[in-house]
Amino acid sequence: MLPLDFVAQLHKLFPADRIYTDPVECYTYAYDNSRKIFPPEAVVFPLTSEEVLSVVLLCNAYKVSLTPRGRGTGTSGGSLPERGGVALSLERMVQIISVDSANRVIVAEPGVLNQEIQNAVKPYGFFWPPDPSSAGFSSIGGNLATCAGGPHAVKYGTTRDHVLGLKAVTGAGEIIKTGCYTTKGVVGYDLTRLLIGSEGTLAIITEATLKLTPLPEMQGGLVAHYRDTSSCADAIVSIMSTPKGPSALEFLDSGSLNLIRGHFPDLLPANSQTMLMIEVDGSQYEISETIDAILSACCNPGLLHAERIANPENLWKARKALSPLLRDIAPKKINEDVVVPINTLPQFLSELAKLASQYQIANVNFGHAGNGNIHVNLLIDPDNMEEIHRAEKCLNEIFDLVIRLNGTLSGEHGIGSEKRAYIHKEIDTPTLALMKKIKHLFDPNDILNPGKLFP
């Protein structure tokens, strides 16, 4: 229960239309795409860095938890107000402050949607490379908080590679500026990269200076269908071993293909068990040369057929629809975004299939194969406790497999609350202790997104 004095102070800081205390209104901010529910006791909607600062200072004074939030599209529970308190929604901080084509920069507030950034810079001949499947409704603040990736990360990198600087409010109640406006700058520690991916546990980002990339002259696509997962995984290794690489390389297993067939019956060959969706970009000459090299790399005994496609739009539409379509198979999914080195993908997918079979858990896999980033979906009945127990054991062994292959537990979703129990598998004790000291330095009273990341 929030102290009455605290609530009174909140009402002094914000007008009535930018603060919720009614439990019914607050419930809208109780969940994200992890489908777990933790209602906040109040929700506030700041419009400026100074207003964010005022909330942080007030929460420090009363030791009230403060959970920053974008659009709630995350899958790892990173924006859940587990300890109640205040949810700080940044959805109304939606100003695009400037577009500077000469310096290839856009400056924007955290509530701006990813797609709005793309729309704003496209007329200038640029784009911002991070492109999660939720780009149409996820905010750049959320993209920054989780270091989002997407299909084109294989060529262009993740969010961390496309941010020059940030303005943020620390958990201690200080406005800081990190990075710089130029693409070169080595003054001081790189706090920008520290904040990106920190999931709102250190500071609340209120402004971002994003680095833009020229739009490619052209794009081309091809698909390759295989009789089994092993052949498809071998092809991924071959493709990524060629100097002429793809701008996107997506893997879909048999479960994924069956889902697509159910909604797009004429889109895929009936005998295809696994598929690669491949995109290349560049000049017309570069595209032609790259496609020839990739088609050659696709060839192995398990290849059914590979072909260029003139218009990949329908395939990409089907790929982006995959995650919600999984709800048709099971009422709940455990959705993981593990990453393994490219050359270990054949071993990973083979052992993953064995684990799913051993624990009798339905399993659908797809993802950004060019990065070794596979979205592992364990499909379960939340009312079947015995099945949940088996799924948890299976997941634990999957994570052990990932670490054994020199991989990482999360490529783009973050740790949040869903994976915090497993973080010790990847991060050793001294490193974890150092991270906790950094957290304490930025947020001495542990008010910012408390309980996330750390077990």
Question: What is the residue extent of each domain of the chain?
Answer: 4-89, 96-214, 217-322, 329-442
Local confidence band at 398 (pLDDT 50, 70, 90 cut-offs)? very high
Name the DSSP class of 448. B
pLDDT of 152 over the 90 cut:
yes
pLDDT of 330 over the 70 cut:
no
Q: What is the pTM of this model?
A: 0.94
CATH class of 329-442: alpha beta
The pLDDT, as a whole number, for residue 414 is 93
Name the DSSP class of 94. -
Minimal CA–CA distance to 233: which of 343, 319, 341, 362? 343
Minimal CA–CA distance to 141: which of 67, 65, 214? 67
Local confidence band at 358 (pLDDT 50, 70, 90 cut-offs)? very high
Minimal CA–CA distance to 35: which of 72, 87, 84, 85? 72
The pLDDT, as a whole number, for residue 327 is 67
Residue with tokens 């605290």: 6
Residue type, 275: M
Mean pLDDT of 302-306: 96
Local confidence band at 198 (pLDDT 50, 70, 90 cut-offs)? very high
Fold of 217-322: Alpha-Beta Plaits (3.30.70)
Average pLDDT of the chain to the nearest whole number: 94
Fold of 96-214: 3.30.465
Local confidence band at 333 (pLDDT 50, 70, 90 cut-offs)? confident
Cβ-contact 450, 65 below 8 angstroms: yes
Q: What would the pLDDT profile of 32-80 be if each residue is shown by its tens digit?
A: 988 899 999 999 999 999 999 999 999 999 999 999 999 999 989 999 9
Q: What would the pLDDT profile of 218-233 be if each residue is shown by its tens digit?
A: 999 999 999 999 999 9
Architecture of the domain delimited by 4-89:
2-Layer Sandwich (3.30)
Q: 217-322 with 329-442: one CATH topology?
A: yes
Nearest-5° angle of CA 158, CA 115, CA 28?
A: 95
